[in-house]
């Protein structure tokens, strides 16, 4: 087979070299374009601010980079989608790095808005201050952390905050359901939780265990970065328990049983009403976007945040969250004008 | 005499039997992989096939599963591929030529060789961390298409180098000798004799390495490719998304409709991979026949 090699390979080589040169040229070409491109981006931003000084009616353009909580992402995405229909020249790329990672990028000045499924921590606020990033905290919707058990579980009628703490606290001694409350079956309890990089985990541990990020960690608990894995885990095991954002319960109602929470004063199950009027305490949580004050001076960012607050009420419902009261949105809008 | 014959035939039967048993064992080994893969393919296709529609190509991601498409991720993946190909081809094949033809067998070269082979097996997330530190932060390229391209190039380079080296090594020594005997220089020998013979093998290696790259998610999540991008990247510094990231995002949503959408995204990605692998096989067959 080797003897026959002769003329054709040269042809192939020429072809391949030609191809790679062309491709290399393309690469080089776009390389050149990149420097020009980044220039254009800056120009765009400059144009944006100039436009605002001249005429506010002109079409907005520019880029509003957003990152942060994957919980808040569906809502921000819905807003960005609707916003794109009105202002097609404004680009709104959104990442889902997680609340903590979002704040890190926010501090580095890489993004204009940070999605957060919990209020900012003191350490994060200090970090922002050290980097000279002034920010505005904007409340956009509520979520109710829903505690669920398997749909065939017929003994759990409710769980008190203390019982939840017993199950989830560090060095928990709870091995079976009988350890949670006397009279419940002595079956091993399988515990599910969203992963430690979730704002959901932060919020739950803070509300139940008293300190964020503190949780039991042994062979009986399973952490999943993917919330759907928590849903699957609880749906597939009769003696399991888990928690996640309300929207995940709403979508999987047929396979799960919602557990009302006894917070000492009342026993409440999460629903649109109880989350909205804050009676589903302590597991109803606020969702925020954090906006850089410097970025807010750009007209497209301000328009976007205003648009966010004007439409969050309606879109929160569509994306599985609970909207704020109307006057709360008005109050948040007023913050922008300060 | 008779006894001996009997013993012989017994031995043959036994050996035949063990041969058959091993045959079945190896068949079982093969089927485990195939069956699992088939089961996976069937469930994916059943979940996703009814969601395959032109909308998938023409619509941007959306909060509503009925309107959601993966236009920007598809274009992002294609751009990534088009930019990666020349860079990784030139660097990878260049390094392979150096290592095989120019470098000797010294201690340093052997050390480099060992490193490259090890790098080919390093988990992809490590390349993501590297890309984040060097390209995104260090060189200040940001979370751009260019950072993604460079990171993915790093990821596939070792694979391309190793595959190209093997292809070059497979060219018989007498071809080089013949070329040198005619008074050709090293580069003339490499460019006119060795490379043409090795090219089908190199191309196959490159295509297989690239098809690994387009399925990668972890390094791109690390360097911050985004999940909601409702525009097409216009230059190298633009934000971008790729198909596996969009699939990952859809799968992690609560609603079933998005899980189906993710399945149809997987089908698209599989079709792309399939086409690339077919091309690799086609190149190998076509050109090795002619050589």
- Place A42 in a pLDDT band, splitting at 50, 70 and 90: very low
Torsion of CA A72, A78, A84, A86, to 10 degrees: -120
Nearest to B202 by CA among B95, B117, B274, B47: B95
Q: Do A230 and A164 belong together in one domain?
A: yes
Q: What is the mean predicted confidence (pLDDT) over A224-245?
A: 90
Q: For chain B, what is the largest distance between any 2 Cα atoms, rounded to a whole number of angstroms?
A: 87
Q: What is the mean predicted confidence (pLDDT) over B222-233?
A: 82
Total count of residues recorded for chain B: 291
Q: Which residues in B lie closer than 8 A to residue A245 (C-beta atoms)?
A: 254
Q: Do A4 and B288 touch (CB under 8 A)?
A: no
Residue with the larger pLDDT of the pair B9 and A248: A248
Confidence at residue A36, expressed as pLDDT on a 0 to 100 scale = 36
Q: Do A150 and A278 belong together in one domain?
A: yes
Peptide bond into A44 cis (omega under 30): no
Q: What is the mean predicted confidence (pLDDT) over A173-199?
A: 90
What order do you get walking across the sheet with A221-224 strand by strand? A221-224, A190-194, A240-244, A146-150, A256-258
Q: Do A154 and A274 belong together in one domain?
A: yes
- Place A8 in a pLDDT band, splitting at 50, 70 and 90: very low
Residues 20-59 (A) with a CB less than 8 A from some CB of B = 20, 23-24, 26-27, 30-31, 33-34, 36-38, 40-41
pTM to 2 decimal places: 0.76
A102 part of contact set with chain B, CB < 8 Å: no
Pairwise CA distance, residues A288 & A66, whole Å = 13
Confidence at residue A13, expressed as pLDDT on a 0 to 100 scale = 45
pLDDT, chain A, mean: 82
Q: Which residues in B lie closer than 8 A to residue A77 (C-beta atoms)?
A: 61, 63, 228
B228 has which bridge partners? A94
Q: What is the per-residue pLDDT across B126-179, written as a single tens digit (0 to 9) for each? A: 999 999 899 988 898 888 899 999 999 999 999 999 999 999 999 999 989 999
Mutation choice for B interface testing from A40, A66, A93 by most B CBs within 10 A: A93
Pairwise CA distance, residues A130 & A43, whole Å = 29
Q: Do A234 and A196 belong together in one domain?
A: yes
Boundary (domain end) residue, out of A282, A307, A327: A282
Residues 6+ apart with CB under 8 A from A161: A208, A261, A262, A263, A264, A282
**What distances in angstroms separate CA A163 from CA A144, A167, A185, A209, A291, one per listed residue?**
18, 6, 15, 11, 38
Q: Do A226 and B252 touch (CB under 8 A)?
A: yes
Q: What is the mean predicted confidence (pLDDT) over B109-125?
A: 91
- Is A313:A323 a contact under the CB 8 Å cutoff? yes
A297 part of contact set with chain B, CB < 8 Å: no
Asked if the model's pLDDT at residue A18 lies above 80, the reply is: no
Q: Do A252 and A313 belong together in one domain?
A: no
- Place B12 in a pLDDT band, splitting at 50, 70 and 90: confident
- Is A92:A80 a contact under the CB 8 Å cutoff? yes
Q: Do A76 and A160 belong together in one domain?
A: no
Q: What percent of chain A has pLDDT over 70?
A: 83
In a domain, A188, yes or no: yes
In a domain, A230, yes or no: yes
A222 has which bridge partners? A192
Q: Do A5 and B287 touch (CB under 8 A)?
A: no
Confidence at residue B121, expressed as pLDDT on a 0 to 100 scale = 87
> Domain total for chain A?
3
Q: Do A73 and B228 touch (CB under 8 A)?
A: yes
In a domain, A260, yes or no: yes
- Is B208:B277 a contact under the CB 8 Å cutoff? yes
In a domain, A310, yes or no: yes
Q: Do A156 and A258 belong together in one domain?
A: yes
In a domain, A1, yes or no: no
Residues 206-245 (B) with a CB less than 8 A from some CB of A = 224, 226-231, 234-239
A288 has which bridge partners? A116, A139
Asked if the model's pLDDT at residue B74 lies above 80, the reply is: yes
Strands annotated E in A80-209: 90-91, 113-116, 135-144, 146-150, 159-160, 190-194
Q: Which residues in A lie closer than 8 A to residue B144 (C-beta atoms)?
A: 34
In a domain, A3, yes or no: no
- Place A137 in a pLDDT band, splitting at 50, 70 and 90: very high
A320 part of contact set with chain B, CB < 8 Å: yes
Residues 195-224 (A) with a CB less than 8 A from some CB of B = none
Q: Do A318 and A294 belong together in one domain?
A: yes
- Place A17 in a pLDDT band, splitting at 50, 70 and 90: very low
Confidence at residue A25, expressed as pLDDT on a 0 to 100 scale = 41
Asked if the model's pLDDT at residue B3 lies above 70, the reply is: no
Q: What is the mean predicted confidence (pLDDT) over A247-269?
A: 90
Boundary (domain end) residue, out of A58, A74, A94: A58
Q: At what angle do helices A299-318 and A326-337 cross, to 10 degrees?
A: 170
- Residue A298 belongs to a domain with what CATH number? 3.40.190.10
Q: What is the mean predicted confidence (pLDDT) over B9-34?
A: 91
Q: What is the mean predicted confidence (pLDDT) over B188-215?
A: 90
Q: Do A70 and B252 touch (CB under 8 A)?
A: yes
Q: Which residues in B lie closer than 8 A to residue A40 (C-beta atoms)?
A: 235
Residue with the larger pLDDT of the pair B291 and A83: A83
Asked if the model's pLDDT at residue A61 lies above 60, the reply is: yes
Q: Do A151 and A136 belong together in one domain?
A: no
In a domain, A4, yes or no: no
What order do you get walking across the sheet with A159-160 strand by strand? A159-160, A261-262, A267-268
Q: Which residues in B lie closer than 8 A to residue A228 (C-beta atoms)?
A: 251-254, 259
Q: Do B227 and A251 touch (CB under 8 A)?
A: no
Q: Do A82 and A210 belong together in one domain?
A: no
Q: What is the per-residue pLDDT across B26-48, written as a single tens digit (0 to 9) for each? A: 999 999 999 999 999 999 999 88
Asked if the model's pLDDT at residue A186 lies above 80, the reply is: yes
**How close B229 comes to chain A (CA, Å)?**
5
In a domain, A139, yes or no: yes
Q: Do A175 and A99 belong together in one domain?
A: no
- Is A74:A246 a contact under the CB 8 Å cutoff? no
Q: Do A228 and A254 belong together in one domain?
A: yes
Nearest to A278 by CA among A289, A288, A293, A265: A265
Q: What is the per-residue pLDDT across B156-171, written as a single tens digit (0 to 9) for each? A: 999 999 999 999 999 9
Residues 6+ apart with CB under 8 A from B142: A110, B136, B237
Q: What is the per-residue pLDDT across B48-60, written as a single tens digit (0 to 9) for each? A: 888 888 888 888 8
Q: Do B239 and A93 touch (CB under 8 A)?
A: yes
B49 part of contact set with chain A, CB < 8 Å: no
Sign of the torsion angle spanned by Cα atoms A244, A250, A255, A259: positive
Residues 6+ apart with CB under 8 A from B170: B198, B201
Q: Do B227 and A13 touch (CB under 8 A)?
A: no
Asked if the model's pLDDT at residue B17 lies above 50, the reply is: yes
A276 lies in which domain range? 146-282
């Amino acid at each position: 087979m080797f003897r026959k090699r002769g003329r054709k390979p040269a042809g192939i080589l020429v072809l391949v070299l030609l191809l790679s040169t062309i491709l290399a040229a393309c690469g080089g070409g776009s390389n050149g374009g990149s420097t020009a491109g980044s220039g254009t981006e800056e120009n765009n931003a400059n144009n944006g601010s100039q436009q605002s000084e001249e005429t506010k009616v002109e079409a907005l353009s520019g880029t509003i980079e957003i990152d942060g909580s994957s919980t808040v992402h569906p809502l921000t995405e819905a807003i960005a989608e609707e916003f794109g229909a009105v202002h097609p020249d404004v680009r709104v790329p959104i990442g889902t790095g997680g609340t903590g990672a979002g704040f890190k990028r926010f501090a580095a000045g890489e993004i204009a808005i940070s999605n957060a499924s919990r209020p900012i921590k003191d350490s994060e606020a200090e970090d922002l201050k050290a980097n000279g990033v002034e920010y505005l905290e904007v409340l956009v919707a509520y979520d109710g952390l829903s505690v669920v058990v398997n749909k065939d579980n017929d003994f759990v009628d409710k769980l008190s905050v203390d019982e939840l703490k017993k199950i989830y606290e560090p060095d928990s001694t709870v091995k079976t359901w009988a350890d949670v409350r006397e009279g419940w079956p002595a079956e091993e309890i399988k515990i599910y939780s969203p992963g430690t990089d979730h704002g959901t985990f932060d919020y739950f541990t803070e509300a139940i265990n008293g300190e964020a990020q503190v949780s039991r960690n042994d062979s009986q608990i399973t952490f999943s970065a993917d919330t759907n894995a928590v849903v699957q885990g609880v749906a597939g095991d009769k003696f399991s328990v888990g928690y996640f954002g309300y929207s995940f319960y709403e979508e999987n109602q047929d396979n799960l049983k919602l557990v009302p929470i006894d917070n000492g004063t009342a026993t409440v199950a999460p629903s649109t009403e109880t989350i909205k009027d804050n009676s589903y305490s302590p597991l109803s949580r606020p969702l925020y976007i954090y906006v850089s004050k410097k970025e807010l001076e750009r007209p497209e960012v301000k328009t976007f945040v205003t648009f966010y607050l004007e439409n969050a009420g309606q879109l929160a419902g569509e994306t599985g969250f609970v909207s704020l009261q109307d006057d709360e949105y008005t109050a948040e809008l007023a913050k922008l004008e300060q | 005499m008779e006894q001996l014959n009997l013993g012989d035939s017994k031995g043959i039967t036994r050996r035949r039997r063990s041969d058959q048993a091993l045959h079945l064992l190896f068949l079982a080994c093969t089927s485990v992989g195939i069956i699992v893969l088939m089961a996976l393919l069937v469930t994916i296709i059943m979940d996703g096939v009814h969601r395959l529609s032109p909308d998938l190509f023409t619509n941007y991601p959306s909060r509503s599963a009925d309107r959601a498409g993966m236009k920007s991720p598809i274009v992002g993946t294609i751009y990534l591929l088009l930019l990666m190909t020349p860079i990784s081809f030139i660097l990878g094949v260049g390094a392979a030529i150096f290592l095989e033809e120019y470098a000797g067998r010294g201690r340093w070269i052997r050390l480099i060789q060992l490193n490259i082979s090890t790098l080919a097996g390093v988990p992809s997330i490590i390349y993501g961390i590297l890309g984040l530190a060097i390209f995104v932060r260090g060189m200040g390229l940001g979370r751009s298409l260019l950072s993604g391209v460079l990171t993915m190039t790093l990821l596939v380079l070792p694979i391309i180098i190793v595959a190209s080296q093997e292809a070059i090594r497979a060219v018989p020594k007498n071809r080089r000798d013949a070329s040198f005997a005619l008074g050709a220089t090293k580069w003339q020998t490499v460019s006119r004799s060795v490379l043409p013979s090795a090219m089908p093998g190199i191309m196959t290696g490159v295509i297989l390495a690239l098809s690994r790259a387009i399925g990668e998610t972890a390094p791109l999540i690390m360097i911050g490719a985004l999940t909601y991008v409702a525009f097409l990247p216009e230059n190298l510094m633009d934000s971008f998304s790729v198909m596996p990231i969009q699939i990952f995002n859809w799968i992690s949503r609560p609603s079933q409709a998005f899980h189906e959408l993710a399945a149809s995204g997987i089908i698209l990605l599989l079709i792309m991979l399939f086409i690339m692998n077919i091309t690799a096989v086609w190149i190998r067959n076509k050109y090795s026949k002619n050589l």
